[in-house]
Amino acid sequence: MIANYGYKDGSGEFFISIDTAKCAQCEAKPCVEACPEKILVIFTDDYDDEVIGVKEEHRKKIKYSCGPCKPITEKRNLSCQKACPSGAIVHSW
Amino acid sequence: MATGKKKEHWRWEESNWHNPEIDWVKARIITAGVDVGSVSSQAVIMCDGKLFAYSNMRTGSNSPDSALNAINWAMEETGLTLDDLHYTVGTGYGRINVPFANRAVTEIACHARSGGFMYGPTVRTILDIGGQDSKVIHCDSKGKVTSFIMNDKCAAGTGRGMEVFADLLDIPIGEVGTRSLDVEEEPEPVSSTCVVFAKTEAVGLLHAGWSKERVLAAYCSSMAQRVLSLLNRIGIKKDLVITGGIAKNIGIVSRIEDKLGITALKPRYDTQIAGAVGAALFARALIEKDN
Amino acid sequence: MITAGVDAGNKFTKVVIIRDGEVISRDQLPSGFDRRQSAFKAFKRALSTAGLNEDDVQKVMATGAGRSEVDFAGGTVTEVGAAARGSIHVIPESRTVIDVGAEEGRALKMDETGKVLNFTISDKCAAGAGSFIEMMSQALEITPEEMGSLSLQAVQTVPMNAQCAVFAESEVISLIHSRVPKADIARSVFNAMAGRISSLVRRVGLNKELAMIGGMAKNPGFVRELEKDLDTKIFLTENPDFVSALGAALIAAEKIS
């Protein structure tokens, strides 16, 4: 499953896409620890796979939560993507 | 005013139904699905995978009570009691607050699961416009989610936004769709994305002499555009279906179809019960898995 | 030299008349449906307060969302330009300015002459604008002013989940139903909105000389939450909602000389 977490409003589209099929295969899930803002969480989905998702409290403000790793104008340095061994995390902005 | 509203044009009719031709006593497996949404709650009861009874009502201030009211209303006059239900799945915004449920499943998985039942086996994209969010779900032939996207940050593109407009224009929510089509030519969509600003814009348009129908047309068109941009974000796989409360609004459905150039499959049942149907189907699959 | 500035906002139209850099008259009227007419009426009223005729004013500059409709103005200036020019005049030490009006929030950075270096605007969503506070005060059945003073008596902040004004209104009503004191709700609303305005400020870059103008600057409840969120003191001025009109009048004077 490609799970898209985030939102769209007048200022743009801010979604983090997680490929849970890849994610379920990964035992270590290093992305969760790698995120400096701790926005990712491990949970068991509706099909009983252990996957990661974006924490509920960050979903409506990920533009701000992810701000430290990617300010709008400056270089991008995405700790979650660097940590993920299977390229399962994609950001829309 | 927010409290003590005199106008209640957003109120749609609550309903319950059961199939008198099914004798639940003879059923092997009786499952229930309860969808406690932010605005409305539904309960569905299935006997051996067949729709037996359902209810659809407004969610109260307390989720456990809303869930109980919905299931009791669905069971009304059927002789069923909570003890007769073999397995119940709770879903929706208040899913963890369904006291009699055996398990909670997200509404995304439930909508995908119910697609085949509600619309037929060719469903691959489900657009669900609820009271407080809009979602696009891709599913496979077995009703399993392959991808999803949801927007619940903003009232634009949700049923709640439509209610605000029905209230502003003094038009019963059930008439919004047909009246929005009662215009000679389609106006430009309302330009503000935000419901609050769109409301101000609408007041200006009314003042400039626009009819209520034309203002509604402009809002429905802007809402259709808004929902489409979410749809385009993950793409459309045929067949497409539109579910949730807004699926009953012909003004939105026809504009989405026009803009896409494809027709959405027609539902076999009340579109508001899709989530609860999925939950009841999930319940059946979970029983079979356990046994 | 006498010049005037007209700030045709989404909600109110403000007029300021200056003589040699000194304010001699100010007036405001609701913008209504006919912004041109409201602007002209407010201008006339300001003239009569100052005992002046239209001909005495050498130049009028218009700013604000409805500036193009102010047909008696001799030119227009952007909201950001007018806000910066007015702010540097009333608060000379300010270098970052927050301007929160009815339908927009802005943050800008400027140099010591009031020249804008960098700015950001949020005008697509009511959650970052004065309308948000107005809607929440209606839900609380008090005025925005009462809400401001009430919030100062709050003992705690409760988390607000909704970002959207429409959803936040329902959330406020359910907080009232669950008997959360109105003072606490008021502070929580200001706190939520302050978070959104802070992010605008951080995007232009926060320095210590921070000023706030626009109608929301008159609300002590909001200013306090914003100061806490940004962890800095905010400079205020007496008539914050007239600063952009003043800026436009100052720019008008500069255009002549």
Confidence of residue C36 (pLDDT cuts 50, 70, 90): very high
Chains near B, with 3+ CB pairs < 8 A?
Answer: A, C
CB B230 within 8 A of CB B149: yes
pLDDT of the residue at A62: 87
Question: C163 at the B interface (CB within 8 A)?
Answer: yes
Which residues in chain C have Cβ-Cβ distances shorter than 8 Å to B162?
none
Question: A60 at the B interface (CB within 8 A)?
Answer: yes
With pLDDT > 70 as the criterion, what percentage of chain B qualifies?
A: 96
pLDDT of the residue at B223: 94
Q: What single string gives the DSSP state of each residue in chain A?
A: -EEEEEEEETTEEEEEEEEHHHHHH-SS-THHHH-TT--EEEEE-TTS-EEEEE-HHHHTTHHHHTTTT--TTS----HHHHH-TT--EEE--
Shortest CA distance to B139 belongs to which of B113, B117, B162, B118?
B113
Question: Which residue in C124, C176, C177 is closest to B193 by CB distance?
Answer: C124
Give the tokens for residue C63: 């700013």
For range C1-17, the mean pLDDT: 96
Peptide bond into B239 cis (omega under 30): yes
Task: Give strand ranges (E) for chain B.
Answer: 15-18, 30-36, 40-47, 50-58, 87-91, 103-104, 125-129, 134-139, 145-151, 240-243
Q: What single string gives the DSSP state of each residue in B95-154?
A: GGG-TT-SEE--HHHHHHHHHHHHH-TT--EEEEE-SS-EEEEEE-TTS-EEEEEEE-S-
Cross-chain residue pair A7–B154, CB shorter than 8 Å: yes
- Residue B119: Cβ-neighbour burial (10 angstroms; 0-12, 13-18, 19+): buried
Cross-chain residue pair C139–B2, CB shorter than 8 Å: yes
Q: What angle do CA B196, C42, C19 make, to 5 degrees?
A: 125
Tens-place pLDDT, residues C60-77:
999 999 999 999 999 999
Cross-chain residue pair A67–C199, CB shorter than 8 Å: yes
Question: A12 at the C interface (CB within 8 A)?
Answer: no
Is the pLDDT confidence value at B4 over 50? no
ipTM of the complex: 0.89
pLDDT of the residue at B5: 42
Tens-place pLDDT, residues C79-120:
999 999 999 999 999 999 999 999 999 999 999 999 999 998
- Residue C227: Cβ-neighbour burial (10 angstroms; 0-12, 13-18, 19+): middle
For range C212-222, the mean pLDDT: 95
Tens-place pLDDT, residues B185-207:
999 999 998 999 999 999 999 99
For range B3-11, the mean pLDDT: 51
Tens-place pLDDT, residues B56-107:
999 887 888 999 999 999 999 999 999 999 999 999 988 999 999 999 999 9
Which residues in chain C have Cβ-Cβ distances shorter than 8 Å to B204?
33
Fold of B121-267: Nucleotidyltransferase; domain 5 (3.30.420)
Chains near A, with 3+ CB pairs < 8 A?
Answer: B, C
Cross-chain residue pair B154–A8, CB shorter than 8 Å: yes
More confident call, B260 vs C206: B260
Question: A21 at the B interface (CB within 8 A)?
Answer: no
Q: Give the separation between CA C172 and CA B2, rounded to whole angstroms.
A: 10
If you search the block for the tokens 């669950």, which residue do you land on?
A: C178
The CATH number given to whatever domain includes residue A43 is 3.30.70
Cross-chain residue pair C163–B132, CB shorter than 8 Å: no
Cross-chain residue pair B193–C125, CB shorter than 8 Å: yes
The per-residue pLDDT of chain B, averaged, comes to 92
Give the tokens for residue B272: 């508001």
Give the tokens for residue B196: 């609050």
pLDDT of the residue at B262: 94
Which residues in chain C have Cβ-Cβ distances shorter than 8 Å to A70?
none
CB C217 within 8 A of CB C236: yes
Question: C203 at the A interface (CB within 8 A)?
Answer: yes
pLDDT of the residue at C203: 81
Domains delineated in chain C: 1-91+241-257 (3.30.420.40), 92-236 (3.30.420.40)
Tens-place pLDDT, residues B112-166:
999 999 999 999 999 999 888 999 999 999 999 999 999 888 899 899 999 999 9
Is the pLDDT confidence value at A71 over 70? no
Architecture of domain B15-118+272-290: 2-Layer Sandwich (3.30)
How many CB atoms are located within 10 Å of the residue B146 CB?
A: 15
Question: A74 at the C interface (CB within 8 A)?
Answer: no
Cross-chain residue pair C33–B154, CB shorter than 8 Å: no
Question: Which residue in A9, A61, A72 is closest to C125 by CB distance?
Answer: A9
pLDDT of the residue at A68: 76
Domain boundaries along the sequence of chain B: 15-118+272-290, 121-267
Question: A72 at the C interface (CB within 8 A)?
Answer: yes
The answer to whether the B15-118+272-290 and B121-267 domains have the same CATH topology is yes
Tell me how close the Cα of A82 comes to any Cα of chain B, in angstroms: 23
Nearest CA in chain A to C192: A61
Is the pLDDT confidence value at B8 over 70? no
Provide φ and ψ at B218, rounded to 5°.
-65, -35
pLDDT of the residue at B11: 63
Confidence of residue A67 (pLDDT cuts 50, 70, 90): confident
Q: Where are the alpha helices (DSSP H) in B51-96?
A: 63-75
Question: Which residue in C122, C161, C202 is closest to A11 by CB distance?
Answer: C122
For residue A6, the enclosing domain spans: 2-91
Question: C141 at the B interface (CB within 8 A)?
Answer: yes
Tens-place pLDDT, residues B45-57:
999 999 999 999 9
Cross-chain residue pair B132–C167, CB shorter than 8 Å: yes
- Residue B242: Cβ-neighbour burial (10 angstroms; 0-12, 13-18, 19+): buried
Give the tokens for residue C31: 């913008």
Q: Give the separation between CA C255 and CA C75, rounded to whole angstroms.
A: 10
Confidence of residue C202 (pLDDT cuts 50, 70, 90): confident
Q: Give the separation between CA A7 and CA B226, rounded to whole angstroms.
A: 12
Residue A52 bridge partners (DSSP): A42
Q: Give the separation between CA C12 and CA C8, rounded to whole angstroms.
A: 7
Question: A9 at the B interface (CB within 8 A)?
Answer: yes
pLDDT of the residue at B6: 47
pLDDT of the residue at B1: 34
**Domain count along chain A:** 1
Which residues in chain A have Cβ-Cβ distances shorter than 8 Å to C202?
67
More confident call, C229 vs A10: C229
Tens-place pLDDT, residues C168-184:
998 999 899 889 999 99
Give the tokens for residue B137: 């779900």
Tell me how close the Cα of A11 comes to any Cα of chain B, in angstroms: 10
Tell me how close the Cα of A21 comes to any Cα of chain C, in angstroms: 30
Question: Which residue in C122, C124, C203 is closest to A72 by CB distance?
Answer: C203
For range C155-159, the mean pLDDT: 93
The per-residue pLDDT of chain A, averaged, comes to 88
Which residues in chain A have Cβ-Cβ distances shorter than 8 Å to C124?
9-11
Question: C192 at the B interface (CB within 8 A)?
Answer: no
Annotate C97-157 with three-state secondary structure: EEEECCCCEEEEEECCCCCEEEEEEECCCHHHCHHHHHHHHHHCCCCHHHHHHHHCCCCCC
pLDDT of the residue at B135: 95
Which residues in chain B have Cβ-Cβ distances shorter than 8 Å to C141?
1, 3
Shortest CA distance to C83 belongs to which of C223, C215, C225?
C215
